[in-house]
Homo-oligomer: A and B are copies of this chain.
Amino acid sequence: MSAEVICIGTELLLGDIVNTNAQFFGQQLASLGVPHYYQSVVGDNPERIKRALQIACDRAEILLFAGGLGPTPDDLTTATLADFFDSPLRERPEVLAEIEAKFARRGRTMSPSNRKQALFPDGAEVLPNPTGSAPGIIWQPRPGLSVLTFPGVPGEMQCMWYESAVPYLKSLGYGREIVHSRMLRFWGIGESTLAEKVRAFLDLPNPTVAPYASRGEVRLRISARAPSEAAAREAIAPIESQLRAIAGPDCFGVDDDTLASAVGRHLCALDATVAVAESCTGGGLGHALTSVPGSSAYFRGGIIAYQNAIKTELLGVAPELLARQGAVSADVAEAMAAGVRTQLGSDWAVGITGIAGPDGGTDTKPIGLVYVGLADPNGRTTSYELHLGSWRERDAIRHSSVCNALDRLRRQLLACCYPDGSVPPL
């Protein structure tokens, strides 16, 4: 018994969007231990959808569809499934009522075209969509064949997956032996360097350890197959502590932790506050810090000093300093941190100034040159010079600037929390 993923949408074939839904299905099926051998993508065309459907029926017993549940004429999934399995479509009044209610809640009136989203094949159950308008179906059109449909919008699809599809698959007997994973997150070390350090762990059969890297962050995924999540956690724990002992402060968190949440955790432990002064990141550092729920407990606020005049007027950076060193310099980064710490009355403060490009680079100060300034509770300032690569895109340089600033702050906070250098619990 296996599952097959069919993503529907001409925009996928045209490459307008990348198929993250297929990736999500893959991860989820693996974690539930559902075998999964094929994925396919087909456009908004009934005949081709039927052809793909025929092939999938011959190969799998659980068919997962994403896309084509919208209100527009090229949303054909439900109608095509009904046609293929010879089951008439009927409007479900309760579904229609709920769609109308959702529009009403947003102060909008439902347009007639949304009416088709209430059409369901006979015998199909409604797969509720708590966040969007289009519900999906859970249907056994033939004995031993399950068909589940989801909208293409990732947020809606994932919410529906967790709330309805997972319980359904468990009712079919899956998830008895589960795969539970724990992701260790690292900043400030390269993938190959980390892989070398933990080489011995990469060949373990169960739990397995696999490295991943993206946008400067490196991750180690520890995955255990076990009868229960508790048993999996037990198997993972010793591996994790060994890995973290090897990696030391380069490991900033696990699972959903971010550099920002790690910073928040340490600030809470120290009962301290932070403020930010940003130039090239334009607010990205504040935005990252406040992405953490409850960040108002330690984040005072910040000053986006994008133009030099603001650096002087609001942050008290001396005009001579700006003239002598230039806005992109270690001294200015430290002065920005010191200035915002005073202005906002925070314990800690971070200043960022740099050249994100695509213009503004020079031989002495190339694109990708970024300075991070830190001010500690005693007003002592330090700074870090970053070379983020003149070949890189503006967005990548700004993102990396924010991450590196958070990481520098994190390491200073960590040293305050654990002066003995011990590995903190996560």
Q: Identify the A interface with B (CB < 8 A).
A: 10-20, 22-28, 30, 36-43, 45, 48, 51-52, 55, 59, 70-74, 106-108, 111-114, 130-131, 153, 155, 181, 190-193, 195-196, 202-203, 210-214, 221, 223, 276, 278, 280-287, 289-291, 293-296, 299-307, 309-310, 313-314, 343-345, 357-359, 387, 389, 391-396, 398
Contact = CB atoms under 8 A, between A and B. Distances in A.
Contact of A45 (B20, B37, B283, B358): B37
Given A13-B30, A303-B303, 17 more contacts: A10-B210, A15-B22, A18-B19, A19-B23, A37-B42, A38-B40, A70-B192, A106-B387, A107-B387, A108-B190, A113-B192, A280-B290, A282-B295, A283-B284, A283-B285, A296-B306, A301-B307
Contact of A210 (B11, B210, B214, B344): B11
A72 B192 contact: yes
Contacts of A108: 190
Contacts of A107: 387
A15 B25 contact: yes
Contact of A287 (B13, B28, B283): B283
A237 B28 CA distance: 44
15 contacts: A13-B30, A14-B30, A14-B221, A15-B24, A37-B43, A70-B213, A278-B286, A283-B285, A283-B286, A286-B286, A290-B306, A301-B305, A309-B345, A314-B343, A314-B344
B301 A310 contact: yes
Given A42-B37, A389-B106, A396-B155, A307 B300 contact: yes
Nearest to A291: B395
A187 to B, nearest CB: 15
Contacts of A295: 282, 306
Contacts of A213: 70, 153
A204 B358 CA distance: 39
Contacts of A289: 282
A18 B369 CA distance: 31
- Copies of this chain in the oligomer: 2
Nearest to A103: B190
Considering residues A10, A43, A287, A303, which has the most beta carbons from chain B within 10 angstroms of its beta carbon? A287
A26 B38 contact: no
A335 to B, nearest CB: 16
Contacts of A36: 13
Contact of A304 (B12, B301, B394): B301
Most interface-central of A106, A130, A286 (chain B CB within 10 A)? A286
B310 A306 contact: no
Nearest to A45: B37
Chain B CB within 10 A, most for which of A22, A202, A283, A387: A283
